[in-house]
Chains A and B, each alone.
Chain A
Amino acid sequence: MRVLAAMSGGVDSAVAAALAVDAGHDVTGVHLALSPDRQTLRSGARGCCSVEDAHDARRVADELGIPFYVWDLAERFAADVVEDFVAEYAAGRTPNPCLRCNEKIKFSAVLDRARALGFDAVVTGHHARLAEGQLRRSVDAAKDQSYVLAVLTPTQLAGAVFPLGSMTKERVREIAAERGFAVATKADSHDICFIPDGDTRGFLARRLGEQPGPLVDATTGETVGQHSGAYGFTVGQRRGLGVSAGDQRPRYVLGIEPVTRTVTIGTADLAGVTEVRTGVPTWTGPAPVLPLRAEVQLRAHAAPVPCSVDAVPEGLVVVLDEVQRGVAPGQSAVLYLPDAARGDLVLGQAAVLRAG
């Protein structure tokens, strides 16, 4: 196959590209320049992650002896991922930008362009298994990224190759070290890539400005405090509410109402939910017959919960076997069929509308 290896400059995508070469594919490396700050790309300023990551990716490509190019997707990324991220928070929801990037950038803009240029598939360093069109969890449960890939359609998955799904992150680093890649010991990226300092609330405050509103106690209906922007909160959040309740019991964010900027808080017993309503689902394969029994994961890195899923006019209703907290509108509910031997099968996902 002629494949395009998306190379971020990190260890995972470097090893994925190397394994694609080993597998006998005709591999071309491409680094996606996503930084909305175009100036840093040109100036080559020290400390600019984009420039240094591009350099790291290029070093690996040169060692592999494969062509390497940088594709400028900054405008698409800003429009489809960053603006979406800001708009979702402004609407009181909690988006997942990595999922959006996979949906709109890596397996849409990049894959479409790759196909038009004569490539058969895009290779990435995601930790997930993909065989015979079936997307499954990585063998490395801690590094599994199937949650942020669950939005991909069969057509998109047909043009994706994930060489790392059957190995642990530790093994990935070993392979990188064996090959002498300088990125073998490079730190994992955890943060949202366009918020390098990790201060999401500060980023949103700069984009959306101060939007003060009340903090309301769900039980009494009383205003118990003020906040400077509802976008600084996520449903299920416990820390940083800035209120102290007389009873010393912890309070959680229960709801965010963007028009009146009201953030509702309450005690743990009120924060639990057993039923999740979603929008229209996307499926990674043929649409399953509903209702069905499955497991649902309600945010990145959350533990999956056994559930029953059925169709409703607006999308899905997911009834949880166990009470969950922190089910935030905007997050994806990803449905899995448990399979210990081959890896849990990803059925698909749908955006959470509300939970109760």
Chain B
Amino acid sequence: MTYLDHAATTPLLPEVLAAMTEQLGRVGNASSLHASGRAARRTAEQARERLAAALGARPSEVLFTGGGTESDNLAVKGMFWARREADPQRRRIVTSPLEHHAVLDSVEWLAKHDGAEVTWLPVEPTGRISPAALREALGDGADVALVSVMWANNEIGTVSDLAALAAVAHEVGVPVHTDAVQAVGQVPVDFGASGVDALTLTGHKLGGPMGAGALLLRRDAPCMPLLHGGGQERDVRSGTLDVAAIVGLAVAADVAVARREDRAVRLAGLRDRLVSGVVAQVPDAQLNGAPLDDELAGGPGRLPGNAHLSFPGAEGDALLMLLDAREVECSTGSACSAGVARPSHVLLGVGADPDRARSSLRFSLGSTSTEADVDAVLDVIAPVVERARRAGMSRA
């Protein structure tokens, strides 16, 4: 089996499995005052410190959540409500059309049900958001509740310069949230140095467990809770701490960040060979997103494990099915709950026509990827594309 869908989820690291297994055998609610509770609390707080250290945050800035979707919902809705309560004219959310649905749908829900106004940032053809575009959209910022722009795009892998964007927003006193689910462990992410006010991450993209995530939230960032209850996590996210999951998340983040540089070089090498090999066999295949060697503020401008390609005349769905039948697992990048393929909103957002958007595949590499995985794709891609093209672009 050739697994090239690490952006969807990536295998649990052995260190994480060991740490979680050990913790799962223990009793103790981190909010209890007795010895078992104290032990659980100590373990959870050690994990908080470890996660914070890996990402340039202070321990008090780490809020553990149930994953990326929850963190995005909490940041977008919580910050919108808090900022508007402080000043009722702040009803505008400035965001990009390329965001993950956890942000997009939260923003659209606030627009539909809670009086939010949305300003959609223009995007560069690579999918990057420019500081100049943000400055233009913000104006004097007086009516803006928050900015939310993803650090790295989950489909096409384009990285934006969040430090530059945060600096622009802070000029007019507007806080910034970023969904960094794909960025952490792939490109340098330093929460404190970036200046952003809130940052979403999740465990299972790093080699940690599913259902465990965090929102890094500056102490002075306004945010109302979505979940009320026992007052855990600075009163912003109530709920008994899932200590084993938190331990797994922290170990995963620590290991992923520590190994990031070596792995990025290795994955970029594999990825470049994958892309050039595919293009050699399918000359009209088109790379989406930033160029492979793109650089941004001293780091990669494109996620090192991301290869996102369009195959004109073939349907992404058909390509995926044919590759699946040949034991190559990848993604078309977008699927809804019923599994019906839609043209990717990300590709449409960067100006691709619907046919190109529908003809795309994402190969995403991760810690377990090897040369053999690349070979497996190159062995089958030409006949797969040819067959998919024969099946055509009909909506049948």
> Footprint of B on A, CB under 8 Å?
28, 31, 33, 41-42, 44, 50-51, 54-55, 58, 67, 69-76, 109-110, 112-113, 116-118
- Contacts A33-B338, A41-B336, A44-B338 hold; do A67 and B325 have CB atoms under 8 A apart? yes
- Residues from 317 to 353 in B contacting A, C-beta threshold 8 Å: 317-318, 321-322, 324-325, 336-342
> B387 at the A/B interface (Cβ < 8 Å)?
yes
Query: CB within 8 A of A116: which of B317, B387, B395?
Result: B387
Cβ contact within 8 Å between A76 and B396: yes
- Determine the distance from Cα of A117 to Cα of B395 in the docked complex, in whole angstroms: 14
Interface footprint category on B: 20 to 34
Cβ contact within 8 Å between B338 and A50: yes
**Across the interface, which residues of A come within 8 angstroms of B338, CB to CB?**
33, 41-42, 44, 50-51, 54-55, 70
- Contacts A41-B338, A58-B339 hold; do A116 and B391 have CB atoms under 8 A apart? yes
Give the shortest distance, in Å, between A166 (CB) and chain B (any CB).
Answer: 30
Nearest CB to that of A2 among chain B residues? B325
- Determine the distance from Cα of A110 to Cα of B394 in the docked complex, in whole angstroms: 10
- Determine the distance from Cα of A154 to Cα of B79 in the docked complex, in whole angstroms: 64
Query: CB within 8 A of B391: which of A41, A44, A51, A113?
Result: A113
> B47 at the A/B interface (Cβ < 8 Å)?
no
Cβ contact within 8 Å between A33 and B325: no
Query: CB within 8 A of B317: which of A42, A50, A51, A71?
Result: A71
> B392 at the A/B interface (Cβ < 8 Å)?
yes
Query: CB within 8 A of A76: which of B342, B387, B395?
Result: B395
- Determine the distance from Cα of A273 to Cα of B165 in the docked complex, in whole angstroms: 79
Give the shortest distance, in Å, between B153 (CB) and chain A (any CB).
Answer: 21
Contact flags B218-248 to A (C-beta < 8 A → 1, else 0): 0000000000000000000000000000000
- Residues from 279 to 337 in B contacting A, C-beta threshold 8 Å: 317-318, 321-322, 324-325, 336-337
Cβ contact within 8 Å between B340 and A70: yes
**Across the interface, which residues of B come within 8 angstroms of A51, CB to CB?**
337-338
- Contacts A41-B340, A50-B338, A51-B338 hold; do A71 and B396 have CB atoms under 8 A apart? yes
Cβ contact within 8 Å between B339 and A70: yes
**Across the interface, which residues of B come within 8 angstroms of A44, CB to CB?**
336-338
Give the shortest distance, in Å, between B391 (CB) and chain A (any CB).
Answer: 4
- Determine the distance from Cα of A7 to Cα of B336 in the docked complex, in whole angstroms: 18
- Determine the distance from Cα of A55 to Cα of B337 in the docked complex, in whole angstroms: 9
**Across the interface, which residues of A come within 8 angstroms of B387, CB to CB?**
116-118
- Determine the distance from Cα of A76 to Cα of B336 in the docked complex, in whole angstroms: 20
Nearest CB to that of B339 among chain A residues? A70
Query: CB within 8 A of A28: which of B325, B336, B341, B391?
Result: B325
**Across the interface, which residues of A come within 8 angstroms of B113, CB to CB?**
none
- Determine the distance from Cα of A70 to Cα of B341 in the docked complex, in whole angstroms: 8
> Residue among A67, A74, A109, A113 with the most chain B CB within 10 A?
A113
Query: CB within 8 A of A117: which of B318, B339, B342?
Result: B318
> B390 at the A/B interface (Cβ < 8 Å)?
yes
Cβ contact within 8 Å between A33 and B390: no
> B388 at the A/B interface (Cβ < 8 Å)?
yes
Contact flags B356-396 to A (C-beta < 8 A → 1, else 0): 00000000000000000000000000000001101110111
- Determine the distance from Cα of A183 to Cα of B317 in the docked complex, in whole angstroms: 27
> Residue among B322, B339, B391, B395 with the most chain A CB within 10 A?
B339
6 closest A-B pairs by CB: A109-B396, A116-B391, A70-B339, A44-B337, A113-B396, A72-B340
- Contacts A28-B321, A117-B322, A118-B387 hold; do A112 and B396 have CB atoms under 8 A apart? yes
**Across the interface, which residues of B come within 8 angstroms of A112, CB to CB?**
396
Cβ contact within 8 Å between A69 and B321: yes
Give the shortest distance, in Å, between A121 (CB) and chain B (any CB).
Answer: 16
- Contacts A33-B338, A33-B340, A41-B340 hold; do A73 and B395 have CB atoms under 8 A apart? yes
- Determine the distance from Cα of A58 to Cα of B325 in the docked complex, in whole angstroms: 17
Cβ contact within 8 Å between A116 and B340: no
Q: Return 26 A-B CB contacts under 8 Å, by A number.
A: A28-B321, A33-B340, A41-B340, A42-B337, A42-B340, A44-B336, A44-B337, A51-B337, A55-B338, A58-B339, A67-B324, A69-B317, A70-B338, A70-B341, A72-B341, A72-B395, A73-B395, A76-B395, A109-B394, A112-B396, A113-B318, A113-B392, A113-B394, A116-B390, A117-B321, A117-B387
- Contacts A28-B325, A118-B387 hold; do A42 and B394 have CB atoms under 8 A apart? no
- Determine the distance from Cα of A118 to Cα of B342 in the docked complex, in whole angstroms: 23
- Excluding A55-B338, A71-B317, 10 further A-B contacts by CB distance (< 8 Å) are A42-B338, A42-B340, A67-B321, A67-B324, A70-B339, A71-B396, A72-B340, A113-B318, A113-B392, A116-B392
Give the shortest distance, in Å, between A35 (CB) and chain B (any CB).
Answer: 9
- Determine the distance from Cα of A257 to Cα of B337 in the docked complex, in whole angstroms: 46
- Determine the distance from Cα of A139 to Cα of B24 in the docked complex, in whole angstroms: 57
**Across the interface, which residues of B come within 8 angstroms of A110, CB to CB?**
396
**Across the interface, which residues of A come within 8 angstroms of B391, CB to CB?**
113, 116-117
- Determine the distance from Cα of A216 to Cα of B321 in the docked complex, in whole angstroms: 58
- Determine the distance from Cα of A67 to Cα of B324 in the docked complex, in whole angstroms: 8
- Determine the distance from Cα of A109 to Cα of B394 in the docked complex, in whole angstroms: 9
Nearest CB to that of B395 among chain A residues? A75
Give the shortest distance, in Å, between B333 (CB) and chain A (any CB).
Answer: 15
- Determine the distance from Cα of A44 to Cα of B336 in the docked complex, in whole angstroms: 9
- Determine the distance from Cα of A117 to Cα of B388 in the docked complex, in whole angstroms: 6
- Determine the distance from Cα of A287 to Cα of B310 in the docked complex, in whole angstroms: 46
- Determine the distance from Cα of A42 to Cα of B392 in the docked complex, in whole angstroms: 24
Give the shortest distance, in Å, between A122 (CB) and chain B (any CB).
Answer: 12
- Determine the distance from Cα of A71 to Cα of B391 in the docked complex, in whole angstroms: 13
- Residues from 41 to 56 in B contacting A, C-beta threshold 8 Å: none
**Across the interface, which residues of A come within 8 angstroms of B324, CB to CB?**
67
Give the shortest distance, in Å, between A68 (CB) and chain B (any CB).
Answer: 8
**Across the interface, which residues of B come within 8 angstroms of A33, CB to CB?**
338, 340
- Determine the distance from Cα of A210 to Cα of B338 in the docked complex, in whole angstroms: 36
Give the shortest distance, in Å, between A231 (CB) and chain B (any CB).
Answer: 28
Nearest CB to that of B321 among chain A residues? A69
